[in-house]
Structures are given as C-alpha cells and as structure tokens.
Structure 1
Amino acid sequence: MDEPPDVATLVAGLSAESESARKYAVFKLKGLLGDPSFADAFIQADGLPPLRQAVLSTSGNTQAYALGSLDALLELDMGWECCDEMVLEKALSLAISHPLVNIVRNALTLIVLVVSRPLAAGQQDGEEPVFGFRALKPALENNPGFLESLVQRLSASDHTLCANALQLVNALMRDAVVNGGEQEWPKFIKRLQDLGVIGGVGMLMRGDAAGDVDSPLSSAIIEFQNLTKMLLRKWRDVMVNMELPEHKRALKTIHLLSNPDPYIPPQGVNGAKVRKHHPEKWRRLGFETESPAWEFDETGYLGMMDLVEYCRRNEDIYQKILLEQFVLPREHRCPLARASLSVTLILYEHFEIDDGTASPDQPSYRNSMYERATQQSVDKLYNPLLLQWGRLHTSALNAFLRLWKDAGAEQEDFYKIEEVVRILVERIVGSAGRKTDVGKVEEKLRVVSLETARRWQMENLNDVYQDAWGPHLVEVREQLHLESLQFMKEQRIRCLLKGSWFPTSTGSKNDEGGTAAWRYVRLSHNRRWLHYQNYPSSRRKTGAEEVPLAELAERIDLHAVTSVDSNVSAAEAAPLAMQMLQNGNDSTETLKESARETSNNTNGNATTTKITILGTSPKTKGSAAAAEDADERVLLELFPPTSPLASEWLDGLLMLLNQQPITKDTTSLIEMMEDWGVRLRMLNLRWEDVDWEALEMSVKGDLGGGGGSDGVGGREVPSREGVDEPYWFALPDEVGG
C-alpha cells in the first residue's frame, strides 16, 4: 500500500500548473484533513491560499474535492479565513445551477457550516468576521434565486443532496430566529413557506428514504420537525398587542372578511354621534367581549394567525356561518372566534409542542428524540400532519361548528363540545400513519357523526379513571383482594365448622323412602379433623339439623388429605346448557344430552355434584417417608344437593388446605367485596386528588344540555324543602344477613 504524501507535496500539488497534479492533491487532501494534527500542519505550511484558489478556479471533480477539503477543515473549526465573500458567492452560485451532484453537495455543506457557526468566544456581535445568515446577505443579493433553488433541491433523487439541502434550510431558519430580530424572522419563515418548503419536507417524511433512521436525511427531517414545533411555540409566546401595526391589521382583517353591514351610529344630543362602531362588532364574530385582545392570552399570536388564515381561505364559508349564527337565539349561537382559539389549543396539546425537543440557540441533529429513533417505529418518529397545521385547524374548526349544530348545544355546553373535538383529534389525527394523506384526515373529520364521537367519548372514560387514579387503584385493589379472600376463607371455614347434611349417593330419592341414606359432615373446632357419620335419614326436618361432634364416630385427619377434586364447574354450567337447549341455540349433541341428563336428575331430587376428598391411608401415619410414597386414595365423597352448599364445602376445603377457591359463587362474592371496597375508598379521596372537571365532563357526555352544577348526569338532587325531622337510611335485610 502506498504511503500517503506529505504536507509539502500536497501544498506544492495545489499550486501546480498541471490539472492532474491539482486533482490528485485535493483528492488525497480530503481524506487526510480529518486528522486535526495533519490539518494543523497543513495550515502551518500555508496550504490555505492554494486551497482557496482551487475552490474558486477549478472545475469538475477537482472543484468537488477542493470544496470537500475545505468542508473538512471547517468541521474542525479551522480555516475560517478562507470563507470570504468570494468563496461564499461561489458556493451559492454552484449550489443554484451546477449540474454535478457532488459539487452541489459539498457547496451546500460549506454554506451550512458557515451559517451554523456560533460567535467565537469574546467576539462582539457586530465585529468581523460575520457568520450566520448575515454572512450570506451580500451573496444572496447577487443570487436572488438561491432560496427557490434550495427548496427545489428537496425533491432531488439523490438522498444525500436532499439531506444537505434540508440541513441548510434548518440552519437558515434557526439563525433567522436567533439573530434575525423580532421583525425579520417571521418574514423569512413566511418566504420559505411560500416557496413550498412544507410540501417538500412532507414528501421526504412520507418517502421510503426516511425509513432509515440512521441516515443524514432522517436527522435533517427530525430537525425540521422540531424547528416547526419551536416556531409554533414562539408564535404562541408572542402576546397580542393592539399597539403593534401588524397585530392591529390582523384583527381588522378578521372583521373586514366577515362582510359587516354598514353601521350608521344613532344621533345623540344636538345631533352628536354617540358611537363610532357597532355595539356587537366583535361579539358578532364569536368573541366574548368588545375588547378581544385579551382573549388571545392563551393562544398568543398563533391563535390570531390561525383565525386569520381560516377567514382568508374560507371567506365564503366564514360569512355564511356568521349569517346562520345571527338568526339563531343568542344562547344557541356557536362563538366562531372562541371555537377557533380552542381548536388551536387542542392541536397545540395534541402535537406536544411544549415537549422541549427544540431549542432556538443550538442545532439538535442528535437530540433526544433522534437518539430514541431506533427504539420507536418510523410512524411514531415522524409527524407529517404537524406541517399541515393550517388545514387541520380548518377541518377541526368546521367539525366543531357541525357538532355544535347537531347537538343543539347552548353557550354553557361549549366545554362539552370542546372535549368531543379533542377526542376526534386524538382518534383521527393521532391514528394517522406516516404516509396518510392529509386529505383523508380532513374527510374523516368532515363526516364523523355525533353518535360516533359520543361512543368514543364513553370508551375514553376508562382512560380518564386510569389517568386520575390508576396507580393508586391498583394498590388498593391488590390490598382489598387479599382482605376479601381472607374474609371469604373464614366464612367458608365457618360453614364447615357448623356442619352439613349430604346424601350418600346420587340415587337418593327422599327422606321417607327407606332407601335413602344421609351423611353428616362437620369440621372440628381445632380445624384438624373432619368428622362424619352416616344416618338413615336427615334431621333437618325435625329442627335438629346440627349433630354434636361426639356422635360422629368417623373422622379424617386433614394432614393426610392431599387434594380435593370435584365436578362443581360442570354442574354450574348445566343450567346454561339447559337454557341453550330450550332456546335452540346449540347444535352440539353432547351438550344437549348433558342438559337433558342434568334436567332429569334434578327432577328426581338427585344431585350430580360430587366432591372427592383424596389422601393417603391412615396406616402410613408415623412414617413420613412411607406417607410420601403411599398411593393416593379416596377418603370421602360428598354429594352436595345445592350449588351454594357445593361452593361452601369445595372452596372451604380448598382454602383450608391453603389453596385458591375455584367456584363461581365464591369468586363472585370476592369480586363484589373488592369492587365495593374500591368504591368506598374512592369516597375518601381528597378533592384536589382528581381532575374533577375533566372527569365530570367525560361522565356526563350530554351534548344537548342538562347536567348542571346541581346534579350529575342531568338528574336533580332531591330537595330537603319541607323536611324538618331527622331521618335515617334503612339497610335492606339481606345486607345485614
């Protein structure tokens, strides 16, 4: 492998008469200048003048290599003395019209580096050399088509060229905001928008090339997206001031586009005119007062811009809406201006403009959002609809007006409609993918019905609860579940301590038939033994249902019980199977046969429910090793005649063995106690713990009015008028039982 040439050889090559020698020198130089030590040696050897001359006087690939070498020096913060007006003008002219892509790439990179360079330490703002956008002003005056050409480069087929062009757009936007002054940067941003930069970047976002999140193009797209958020935030931070001509002119535009009727003021005393303007000049447009400047406090100048753009682009619709509102009673009129400001805030919150991903004083090509790019899907990373802010505002505002009309809303229902529009934006705009055309989003906002919006609102109710109380409710439910489980365990075991009667087989007919045999089973007080005894008949009809433990000769050591088996779950499903059989809803012959058998057994006062207690033989007692190796056998079989009794004994035995309950009756009771426990705990929450206003709006969902402050969901609270004596609530008997 050839050794790289030394610095002296390269400097001599740059000054050579031969075109091939200069081409070889700049080609080698571009790769070597990435080393700071070599770059420093190159500058010390007076290599900057011949390099500058190569940029200005060569052509073709030689010029491309020369521009690339100068870019490498500037990236190391060296060689800035080369970037005089002649070099910048040369770079601008090459970027505008040169056909070679590699020359245009390097020329755009050079301009990006110049615009992005901050002031040096200790340098005053007005001192030379001047960098940033101001450094390009002389060259831009000689090349007026540069910005238009730059925007056109965004649609180039070469992705690297697109990335370089977009990086320069980003650098110019950022420098204009930081150093352009309050009056200059809005004009420059508007100029870029008029040239079509929004459409160009939108196409890049939706293109396949943006799918590679590690590419320079992806980095530039994310930077532009963050800059757009920064601009929206900056516009919102500008307070509306009627002393400023631009703000006064914007508000006047809103009024004039409404096509107001000529106003003839009434004559006062001695013919003096008492008022110059219509008494409802601004309220007619949907403002709350006749001094509308303060109503832009929340949205700032951004809200005024959105309203002016809506009026300009929809002048006929704007005037028609105002005429329709004017003929309605005052309480049924939809305040258009106020609705516009609400939609601005809804979009502002939806796109998370205040997330702080962009700062006006430093570039963020590698910001936190970009660093998370590899962990997010591409659809979540890019948001092309953010660039269509004006069209989304128009569509959402039209949806606001339409829903207001469909709901028959009144002035007091404004916040309810606002909440519904917020849900529409979240559902429709939020679910749109990276390649979704804005026209489809506009169409969905145009046709979505009030019924659909209300259904979405109710679906979001669980999210409201979760957002307000989610983490606390999870902890409370876990605690209450354990408490409810412990309570049911004690209740079920108490049923075992009381004892119960069971038929000894499924063939039992009745107590008087002579063939019936009954078994009484009862748990000992120390909960160690299960006592039982067989009887020819049950004592339940004699009033002496309980049998003392002393009369129960047989017993089972619960330490010897290994498991409890049953068919209770199948028995619980039998009534459902019978119902399906009667309704003709099931075609499975097995299920029909099971239902018929269950029905026949029930009609014969017999039971198919069976609980089997399994364990080891008592003979193995005293030998732990033998007990472990002993075969499991049936210790006792129970045939509960009713479902509640089966649930009590099966779950009681399981919980006595420290196992989980399995029957529907027990689990339903546990869930009921857990649910009511959560409700009671919620009643003890402090007022400031919950966003009650948002919760109330979601719970009511009554877009047609009603549901005032004195009731919930439109129902009035009963009055105490005429009631003088104290009163109490009587609890139902079943609660106490």
Structure 2
Amino acid sequence: DEQRPSFGGPSAHDEWSLPNAERYALQYTDGRQTYITELNRGEIKNGSILRLTTSPDQEAERLYSGIQSNNVDVKTDSLKKLASLSQDVTFAQEFINRNGLKQIFYIILAHTLKAFMELMEHDFVSWETLSAAFIKKIVSYVNMNAMDASVQQLSMSILENMVPSSRVLFELVKKEVTVDRLLTHLQVTNAQLQLKAMALLIALLLAATDAERQVWGGGKHWGLSEPLGDEMAHYLYVLQSVSLNLHERRMRMSMDPYSQVWELSYSSGSSLLAVLPLEVRNNSNPAEDLRRAPPGLLALDNMVYFSRHTPSAYSRFILENSSREDKHECPFARSSIQLTLILCEILHVGEPCSETAQAFYPMFFGQDHFFEELFCICIQLVNKTWKEMRATQEDFDKVLQVVREQITRTLSLKPTSLELFKTRVNALNYSEILKLRQTERLHQEETLAVPVLELRERLKPELLELIRQQRLLRLCEGTLFRKISSRRRQDKLWYCRLSPNHKVLHYGDVEEGVHSPPIESLPEKIPVADMKALLVGKECPHTKEKSSGKQNKDVLELAFSIVYDVEEYCLNFVAPTRYEFCLWTDGLNVLLGKEMTSERTQTDLDVLLSMELKLRLLDLENISIPDNPPPVPKPPSNLNFCYDFSHAEQ
C-alpha cells in the first residue's frame, strides 16, 4: 500500500504500532535487497515481497562497530553483511557518513602489513633492501594520532624487527620515531599497543650506544597498566638492566690516585676533599682504596652525588663519626666503596640481559638517578647499623654483611617507591636481623635431628607421589608456548596440553590473546605410548639448528623436546619461564616412567616435608627431641608377676 509510510516517522508508529519507528525500514527480500525510501517507494511493483528490518542508519552503525570488533567472528560476519548491503545507496550514504571508508582502509592496511611482516620473517629478503620512503611511511603510522590501533601495532612490530638488522636502519628509525611518541603509546589503555611500543623502545635501546641510551632511557615514568603480562615484565626487566648497565663503564674504570681524586674532589664543590685525608690519615696515599675496579670510579661518583644532593645527611655522617673514638669511627670512603660493590652485585650491574628473566623492581621506574638515590639511602643505613652494632674497625666486614642482608630482604618485598624502600629497610634494624637469623637457625636445627630425618625419609614416597599428580594436573591444564625466531623474542603462539586420561598430548597454533583453548580446538596429537625420550638443553634439535649463530644461554636452559613414534620425530618446546620448564620436564618424565629431576621437585618436596613435619611435631613444641632413642631396659629376672587367666576361667 503506497499510502503507508516507507519507514521512520510518527505515521509509521501509528500504522504499524511500532515503538521507535525510526529504527525500522522496509526492504526488498530478493535481488539487490534495496531499502524502501520516500524517493523510491513509487517504484514498488504489485507482488513485490518486502520485509521489515532495521533502518539503514541503525544497520550502518552496527556494522561500523562490528568491523572494529576484536572478536574475529563478529568482524568477519560484519564485513560479509557490509559487502551485501553496500549496493544500496541509502545504506552506503549512512556508512560513509560515519567515516566507514577510512575504517575499511585501515583493515586492508593492517592485513597488508601483516602479510609483509610474515613474508620478511622467512629471511629470503634483507631488511636493508627497503627504501627510506617506505620506512618513513611505516613510521608515519606510528607517529599519527588518528590511526587504527591494529595498524600501529603492526607498524611498530615491523620497525622492531628492522632495527637490529642494520645500523643504517637503526639510525633512520631513531631519527623518525620520537621518544615522546613512544611514551604516548605507553600511556594508552590498549595493552597490546603498550607491549609493541615497549618492544620497539627496547629494540632501539639494545642497538644504541651508551650515550644514546642516556637520552632514550632517561624518562622512567611509564604509567603502565596492571596487571602486567610475561612479555611486558620481560621488557621492563630489560629496560631496567640496560639502564643500570650504563654505570658499567665507570664501575670498571680504575682511578689514577695521583690526579683524578683531587680534580674530582675539588670540582664537587663539597667538603669531600677534607674527609678523605681524615679517614685515612695513617695512610700515605688517601686514594689507594679507590683503585679497585669494580667498583672503580662509580664509588667516587656516588660519594660526590651524596655530598652534593644530600648535604645535610652527608655532614651528619661525617660529624657523627669525627666525634667518636678512632676505633668506633665508621669509615665513609671505605664504606662507600664496599656498599657500591654490594649494590652492583645485587642489581647485576655489568651483567648481560637475560632473554627470559622477568624480575624487575617497580621503584626503578618512578625515580630518576635510581642507583645514586639508592646509594644515598643505603650509606645512611650503613652508619645506622654501625651504631646499632656498636662496631669497631675490626667489625667492618660483619656490618657490611648485615647491610647486604637488610637490602636484599627489603628488595625481595618489591617496594613500589624509594620512600617505601627507605621506610622498610630502616625498620629492618640489626635486632630484627638477629631475630630472623635465630628463627632460621632454630628451624634448621629442628629439621636436622636424627628422629626428624628418619621421619622425613618415611614421608618422602607419599609426598613425591603427590608432586607427580600435581605435575600431571599441570600438563592437563596446558601452557602457552612461543615459537622463538632468530631475531626477536615474541613470535607465533602455540598451546600444548595433556588429555584428562593422561594418554594423549594435544597441541596446535593459537591466536594472540587466547589463554586456555579447549582441547577440541588443538588439531595435532601425540599418543603418550609413542613417546620415546625427553631431550633438554643442547641435546634438543632446535638448539642444534641455531648453533651456528650466537648461542643464547637462557634459551638453552628453557629448551626441551619430545622424541616420539618409530620414526623418532621431535616436538620442540621453549618454556616461557624456568618454572614452567621444570613442571613440564617433570610431568613428561612421569609419563615416561622416569624420576623427576628438576630443581623445582626438590624445592616442592622440601616445602611439603617442612609443612608435614611441623604438623606432626605440633604436640612436641618446646620439647627438645633427643638425637638417640631412649635405651631399652633389661628384661626382668623372672616373670612371676604375670597372672595366668586360664585357671580363673575354669
């Protein structure tokens, strides 16, 4: 009926009794499925079949959102529907008005960049063959504000792969990509975009010189979202390690005692020069202690920093000790040198970055001049602990051992700021350290008593069986593994898990963001009965294949392979962490009927034994357990005290 409204408006509400009538429209069911509008309603022929559907603007909005979805199925269905409806001029106008063409361009661009990156991964073509114009175009996607997140992620991945391959490419990318732009990407809520930005920053830092790292790694206030994934934790560890290693050059540089000490002391603008002769007035050369490397000149740098930036604390340290007797004086320079060495050892300054480590200190990323500021806190801790121990010059090594323990125990708590570290480390005074040592010593003595050791041996088989069951359960849950490529750490993902009946290993490739795929979605299978052996480390074929290049120690420590079938095929693994490596190698050894050999097995066994022993010995608290059982008394001379009940029954 042409007198009825085509769609929208209050009249449609009256005729069709539809609420929100503007959200609906009529559409042909056959052919091009064109929408009926006021402009074409006169073209409707008798017998045409129409259907009531959502209006063009509503459908355009839905599909515009659908093609941006992170759900692959939703995105695919939206694109299919878009291809069908785009023939209609009314829908096309609504979709274009929403900037839909630009979104389609981003989708095509993202797939193009993905294809390019995957092709380059095969190493058939060198990255150096790329033109500067192409690289600048990729960089422009990273630097652009109004750009699709998936395009920016892929662009940063391409640049990340490009940087280590050539110094020329590094210089070009470094020139075009600004630190501020990468920091902007690190502030967004998109975790994947943060990850790719951090990966690019790390690639640039690793390829840079120390001077360039000073500029690139200067700002540490990243503001990263929680919780952090394994990959981001690793990148933060690398950033921390690279930044701390900037101190390596000074740490390994010995000082010329006849020139540098005086020049540096005078230039410090403090009373440092006056202190050194006071402290070592019995020594002919006051700079002799500063010749050791490590800590080298880094110790002198720290002393100068302390005197310049905390002059009141520095003066208090000097004045307090100058008023003490000579034997009770805490030596400032000697303490500073030894403390600098302790901090370098604890923070692994000068050690190469691990490929798998994820241990970082959150407070590092909220503080400029982290190492120097940490020294300022700890040198005051030395003086405080010295007073608490009432130490003399002969106790110097003991005091520094206590200080090392105070620092190590506090860092293990992962304080989020230096202020919190300072509060906690000062609370952990000498008396607290003595209490902790006493508790640990008593616990050790209890567990070494002969009866306790015998009980441990009796409990071991039961607890080892418990650990075996836990390992198999962990294999049933499965783990996400990464295929390690030659140039970068992250690559394609695959998942492996054991069937609930412990008879089949299921595995297969998975998409990014999938954490625990159902067992039915993993297409590949290995029957446990076909497994022949477990290889680890250098024995694995995938580590032998890469032996021509620089062998990565960390990857070797996480590599293992399953040999299976009569043809002796291999399924190769690189565990994400040492913990996962231990769980998987233990679990596979259980399936093969072998002993669990990882260090984690012994750790878990010790924890379970300790817990079980404590429960069993609760009733013996405060009762000393003898090393030997009580003696068995001699038998009595006669047994006349025994009564024969058989006579009484008769």
What TM-score do you get using the length of structure 2 for normalisation?
A: 0.48
The answer to which structure, 1 or 2, has the higher relative contact order (CA under 8 A, 6+ apart) is: 1
Q: Which has the larger radius of gyration?
A: 1
